[in-house]
Structure 1
Amino acid sequence: MTGPDAFVKQRAEAPPQFFAWEAAGLAWLGRADGGTAVVGVHEVGDTRIVLERIAPAPATRAAAQAFGRSLARTHAAGADAFGAAAPGWNGDGWIGRQELTIRPFDRWGEFYATTRLQPYARAAHRVGHLSAAAVHIVDRVCARLVAGEFDDDTPPARIHGDLWGGNVLYGRLGTGSPAAGAVLIDPAAHGGHGLTDLAMLALFGTEHLSLVLAAYAEAAQLRPDWADLIGLHQLHPLLVHAVSHGPSYGQQAVAVADRYR
């Protein structure tokens, strides 16, 4: 399907299942009862995905607060395990154009250290964007994570996984739809910790960020000290960007990691 109600994303040399990963994540996020709206998928193929067109609408304060509450419901829909993807998905996924390990874990700290921090720290070091000393600091944080020092009793959340502000659009879905609000696009959806999505929103910014975070915190009944761990959850996107966007992200990552080693 193409036309005025569709938006086409194409990549001529996409790896196998690249767009299927996006479609599976959107469908899984969309099944969360009362969760944030997701863009619809009309068609998916090896080199393109055809999405529902979103009619832009203002990012009002009320819409931002509603987004915070609905994101909490998306997360609460849960996942089979930390690191697990949508049921039925086989193989790894992607975050942007980098591969993302998909493998189930019982504990968040072990999952986060071994599949979200160490691989990207080493990749950033290989391309010269992270020093050996910086990798050592990240490894110190990972040792604490594997030891369970940052684990809590939060079950695996159904997270977007790449929730920077550009992947949150405000608008209406469907021709003539009266409802307008936040719509999620382009996920790297998997089982994780809800703070990881909040951390990426805080790292790169989004409309009315403080309202989104406050509404989420209230709806999800976060612990009073939740903001103290935002930096820990920002390490993954910082290291991903260190691999692909240069050493300035590596410098930022090590400065953050130093607070948690």
Structure 2
Amino acid sequence: MHLPLATRAAAALGTTVLGCAPLAGGDLSAVHRLHLSDGGSAIAKQGPLVAVEAAMLAAIAASGAPAPRVLALADDLLLLQQCPAGGALGTAWEDLADTLARLHAVEGAGYGWTVDYAFGRVAIPNGAMADWPHFWAERRLRCHLPHLPLPLARRIEALADRLPGLLPTNPPPALLHGDLWGGNILVAEGRISALIDPACYHGDREVDAAMLSLFDAPPPRFFEAMDLPPGWQARQPIYRLWPLLVHLRLFGASYLNAVEDTLRAVA
């Protein structure tokens, strides 16, 4: 018999939970806001990979970038600090660039992460590699090939073969958020209050810029503040291709045109 969420959360937190309300969440977890007896609140996430998420949030916080504090972790239940939100990302582009500078300053020994992750049923292989184009080809492109229509798979395979000539061999292995879009960036009073729902690994910091510009529209001053290396614009479609393939597998053919357009944009 499964105990109710409020009962499990109360035991983990050591306080009474007066109620819980569902929140919009990702493909990994069920998400609820908990109302606590002291008048405060917390966020509860349930899913098979919450322990991995907790470690990623701790890594973000250790970099000096803001992230929700882990209040408790019990099996498939993660309890997090509720961070202030409600502000518009458009008021905080400069602070986001500063936040990412702190995050990306943390470098790993290689490219990847200590464990694999997933977006719902789509696996995210993170096995470490020393060569960045090889990592992107194997862990972010070729991993999708068995799940794609054959003509598209052949085009992805052909691009993967070309990556040593398109991507830098050894960019600094920066700590990446890994799923950076506006919905995973909390803003309050013109400042970034937290980066949430990460899919961290170490890689080229241009990846976070590419993912952010997939669904959001950062202004030129944001990219100027990031001070990306020459040629970054040409690499953005290559890095955007991975989240688009994930969305294609999760949500279907509505993303096929975007995948095709992105492939055409790669020189």
Q: TM-score, normalised by structure 2?
A: 0.78
Offset, 1:224: 4.2
2:237 is aligned to: 231
Offset, 1:80: 2.0
**2:180–2:198 Cα contact (<8 Å) kept:** yes
Instruction: Indicate yes or no: 2:217 matched with 1:214.
Output: no
Distance in 2 between residues matched to 1:221 and 1:201, nearest whole Å: 15
Distance in 2 between residues matched to 1:184 and 1:150, nearest whole Å: 27
Counterparts in 2 of 1:164 and 1:210: CA distance versus 1, 3 Å: closer
2:129 to 105, 108, 127: 105
1:6 is paired with a residue of what secondary structure?
strand
Distance in 1 between residues matched to 2:105 and 2:158, nearest whole Å: 31
1:37 is paired with a residue of what secondary structure?
coil
1:128 is aligned to: none
1:191 is paired with a residue of what secondary structure?
strand
Aligned-pair identity (%) = 30
Distance in 1 between residues matched to 2:60 and 2:120, nearest whole Å: 18
Question: How many residue pairs end up in the alignment?
Answer: 231
Instruction: Indicate yes or no: 2:263 matched with 1:257.
Output: yes
2:138 is aligned to: 114
Distance in 2 between residues matched to 1:44 and 1:97, nearest whole Å: 23
**2:84–2:193 Cα contact (<8 Å) kept:** no
Instruction: Indicate yes or no: 2:175 matched with 1:158.
Output: yes
Counterparts in 2 of 1:171 and 1:50: CA distance versus 1, 3 Å: farther
Distance in 2 between residues matched to 1:210 and 1:37, nearest whole Å: 20
Distance in 1 between residues matched to 2:138 and 2:50, nearest whole Å: 25
Distance in 2 between residues matched to 1:60 and 1:188, nearest whole Å: 20
1:54 is paired with a residue of what secondary structure?
coil
Q: How does 1:65-80 map to 2 (within 5 A)?
A: 65-80=94-109
Counterparts in 2 of 1:160 and 1:152: CA distance versus 1, 3 Å: same
Distance in 1 between residues matched to 2:46 and 2:185, nearest whole Å: 20
Distance in 2 between residues matched to 1:77 and 1:58, nearest whole Å: 27
Distance in 2 between residues matched to 1:65 and 1:220, nearest whole Å: 9
Offset, 1:73: 2.2
Offset, 1:202: 0.7
- Which protein, 1 or 2, shows the higher relative CO under an 8 Å CA cutoff with sep ≥ 6? 1
Offset, 1:5: 2.9
Q: TM-score, normalised by structure 1?
A: 0.80
State the AA in 2 paired with 1:66: D
Distance in 2 between residues matched to 1:109 and 1:244, nearest whole Å: 25
CA RMSD of aligned residues (A): 2.3
**Which structure has the bigger radius of gyration?**
2
What are the ranges of 5 or more consecutive residues in structure 2 without an aligned counterpart?
1-12, 18-35
2:80 is paired with a residue of what secondary structure?
strand
Instruction: Indicate yes or no: 2:199 matched with 1:202.
Output: no
Q: How does 1:1-261 map to 2 (within 5 A)?
A: 1=13, 3=36, 4-11=40-47, 14=48, 18-33=49-64, 36-59=65-88, 61=90, 63-85=92-114, 91-123=115-147, 125=148, 131-145=149-163, 147-171=164-188, 180-205=191-216, 209-211=217-219, 214-215=221-222, 217-260=223-266
2:103 is paired with a residue of what secondary structure?
helix
Counterparts in 2 of 1:152 and 1:119: CA distance versus 1, 3 Å: closer
What are the ranges of 5 or more consecutive residues in structure 1 without an aligned counterpart?
86-90, 126-130, 173-178
State the AA in 2 paired with 1:257: L
Offset, 1:62: 5.1
Counterparts in 2 of 1:153 and 1:100: CA distance versus 1, 3 Å: closer
